[in-house]
Amino acid sequence: MSKPLQRGVSGVRTPDSKSKDKSEKEDWDNRRASSDHSPMFPFRLLFADNNSHSKYGINENGFASDPFIVSNPRSRLKLTLLFLKFSLVIIVVLALTGSFWWTMSISASSRGHISHGYRRLQEKLVSDLVDISEFSRGASKFKELESCSEEHGNFVPCFNVSENLALGNSDGNEFDRQCGRELRLDCLVLPPVNYKIPLRWPTGRDVIWIANVKITAEEVLSSGTLTKRMMMLDEEQISFRSASHMFDGIEDYSHQIAEMMGLRNESYFIQAGVQTILDIGCGYGSFGAHLFHSQLLTTCIANYEPSGSQVQLTLERGLPAMIASFTSKQLPYPSLSFDMLHCAWCGIDWDHKDGVLLIEADRLLKPGGYFVWTSPLIKSRNKEDQKRWKFIHDFTENLCWEMLSQQDATVVWKKTSKRSCYSSRKSSSAPPLCSKGYNVESPYYRELQNCIGGTQSSRWIPIEKRERWPSRANLNKNELAVYGLQSDEFAEDSESWRTAVRNYWSLLSPLIFSDHPKRPGEEDPPPPYNMFRNVLDMNAHFGGFNSALLQARKSAWVMNVVPISGLNYLPLIHDRGFIGVLHDWCEAFPTYPRTYDLVHAAGLLSLETSQQHRCTMLDMFIEIDRILRPEGWVIIRDTVPLIESARVLITQLKWEARVIEIESDNDQKLLISQKPFYKKQAN
């Protein structure tokens, strides 16, 4: 009888089957061990013969197959992935090996540069952290800031006429600027109740909202000056345009001045070398507004006035102006800055203080520049007035001014272009020349000097020999050498600002369009042409921002500010035919609240933090808020940590951060923010 076959029936195992299984298992273990050590093991598994009889597949007894068997598709997929992972490990090892050998091949000098750069980054980080710590004290104080009272609506720190009178200052000195820490604002200035956003240029030049300025109808109607008489009032607006003959008076007056200079009309001023004009006691800016059509840049200066301010109304019209007093201190402009000084019924007593005010006027005039004076004193028949006029006439001769013409109440003088004139003076009473050590380039509100300055300056270039506008904005090699600059350095700066302005406008234009698809004044050109008019550059450097705006044909003028804490390139700015002023940003700027559409600050925070911390970033930002119009814009470019500090402060100021952009080419960050329209909170 044949022995039955044992097929491993479930639950039944005979002794023979156990012995057989054991022997088969040992045989399998030996085979697998030998296969595992074979170098072709992975490849053999991938290309195994599915039809071959092997104990590695599903056996005929039905037991579970070994996990390394690839006779089914799922197992083959797993092994394929395993192979790919194995290949990836090989590639990574090779890459790391190559990187190691490349690193070892770097020269010792290169490693030194890397180490030096790393140390600089560490030092910069420590410096920035110190700055942020300093500013955080200012930010914490801001938590208690509130809106200023209504009486501060037109407040200008550093100018307090009543207090100066109480201190015994008189004879014009009551208008002097007196700054101190206690005069800083620690609150936000609110606009008047009925304040409206100014009409955009050029409409705003001729029509302003009466609620935006502090002036009464009586102040307008009682005024005796030409420009003030030309104002017309209605319920909400002051209009400076009219069909009356009074407006023809400005044009006739300008023609008269040109003819007295030997020119056909005022459009020939540029051909005579005149581009920048300082208008002293400017009324409300109508002389400068008229000359603007001839591309002349006229800056208005006048005393601080609590009401009916000439400066405030001029700025509201979109014309350059600032508070400045021609009394006991030098104006914050370098010597040889302006091509013409104009004084029509300006109220300056030029014969007072032994002629020192005329000496200051001479300091400001470029060689060959013009001084235009209109006053009833000139044609007065009063003996005292005639005596005063004779003193002025003789004194200007001692200043080497030539009187070109006198017509009615107007006189035009021309400053000499020749230095030799001063040595040929015969009068023993003539004012002396200043010494060589006299610094004429940084006159930051110093006492008036009784000597003639600028005669030994390397900037002594007659206006007739300078390039005509607009070529004048691009200084030649010899003019740049005066400031220790090379032509390529100047060209590189100019190109960088052209790029920056294009970037600014590409970012701002969509915001302006979205916020104000239709601006007041239907005849206005659409944005972005008229998005800004009054621009303040807080750290002007060479005036590159100003130049780039003009080249981009933006209808804006720029007040270029050179901080006293940095290098003084203000003379260069004036030589380019721009306007600017020295200023200490730890003090209030000499202007009224709400007078600028755009405030620009590139590198200012880094500059100020590199100095002794006389003030915080909070102090500067409160001042920016004071002078910025509602819905005005702020552009700040600086290091990343300082921009982050600024972001904290503008949040506290309720400004809106509209654009934040990192400039990868110079490791700086750009912040564009907008001031809100503050409203008085209801009680």
Q: How far from the centroid of its chain's Cα atoms is residue 436's Cα? A: 35
Percent of the chain scoring above 90 in pLDDT? 51
Higher pLDDT, 27 or 108: 27
- The predicted pLDDT at position 102 comes to 58
Strands 338-344 vs 365-374: parallel, antiparallel or unpaired:
parallel
pLDDT (average), residues 607-634: 89
> What fold does the segment set 471-675 form as a domain?
Rossmann fold (3.40.50)
What is the DSSP code (8-state) at residue 329? B
For the residues 472-488, what does the mean pLDDT come to?
95
361 has pLDDT over 70: yes
Q: Residue 138's pLDDT is what? A: 45
pLDDT at residue number 530? 60
Tokens of 502: 């294009």
The pLDDT tens digits of the residues spanning 641-672 come to 999 999 999 988 889 899 998 876 667 899 99
* pLDDT at res. 479: 94
Q: Residue 422 is encoded by which pair of tokens? A: 């001063």
- The residue that leads in pLDDT, 55 or 501, is 501
CA distance 152 to 463: 43
Q: Is the pLDDT of residue 225 over 70?
A: no
Task: List alpha helices for 381-474, DSSP H.
Answer: 383-398, 420-423
More confident residue, 488 or 510: 488
Residues 125-135: pLDDT tens digits? 544 554 555 44
Contacts 24+ apart (CB under 8 A), 115-120: none
Instruction: Find which of 132-141, 483-492, 501-510 is predicted with most confidence, using mean pLDDT.
Output: 483-492
Angle between the 640-652 and 108-141 helix axes, to the nearest 10 degrees? 10
* pLDDT recorded at residue 231: 67
Query: What are the CA-CA distances from residue 285 to residues 84, 371, 426 (Å)?
Result: 81, 18, 40
Which tops the pLDDT comparison, 5 or 202?
202
Scan for tokens 């005596």, then name that residue.
387
Among left, alpha and beta (phi > 0; psi -120 to 50; other), residue 451 is beta
Burial 331-345 (b: 16+ CB within 10 A, else e): bbbbbbbbbbbbbbb
pTM comes to 0.78
Q: What is the DSSP letter of 441?
A: S
The pair of structure tokens assigned to 435 is: 């010494």
Q: CA distances (Å), 498 to each of 480, 549, 660, in order?
A: 20, 8, 20
Q: Is the pLDDT of residue 465 over 50?
A: yes
Task: Decide yes or no: CATH 3.30.470.20 for domain 248-465.
Answer: no
Phi, psi of 558 (to 5 degrees): -125, 130
Answer whether 248-465 and 471-675 agree in fold. yes
Is 282 within 8 Å of 340 (Cβ atoms)? Answer: no
Q: How far apart are CA 575 and CA 557, in angstroms?
A: 16
Residues whose CB falls within 8 Å of the CB of residue 678, separated by 6 or more in sequence, listed in order? 147, 188, 190, 191, 630, 654
Beta bridge partners of 372: 342, 412
d(CA 212, CA 218): 17
Q: Please state, for a pLDDT cut of 70, what percent of the chain lies above it.
A: 71
pLDDT in tens, 581-614: 999 999 999 999 999 999 999 999 999 988 766 7
What Å distances lie between residue 353 and 43, 304, 361, 448, CA to CA?
107, 21, 14, 10
Q: What is the largest CA-CA distance in the chain?
A: 166
Please give the pLDDT value at position 154: 87
Domain ranges of the chain: 248-465, 471-675
Measured distance CA(7)–CA(528) in Å, rounded:
94
- Tokens at 648, concatenated: 């904290």
Given a cut of 60, whether residue 508 has pLDDT beyond it is yes
Average pLDDT over the chain reads: 80
* Lowest mean per-residue pLDDT among 37-46, 413-422, 526-535, 622-631: 37-46
Calpha distance 519→199 (Å, rounded) = 8
State the average pLDDT over residues 197-221.
85
pLDDT at residue 367 tops 50: yes
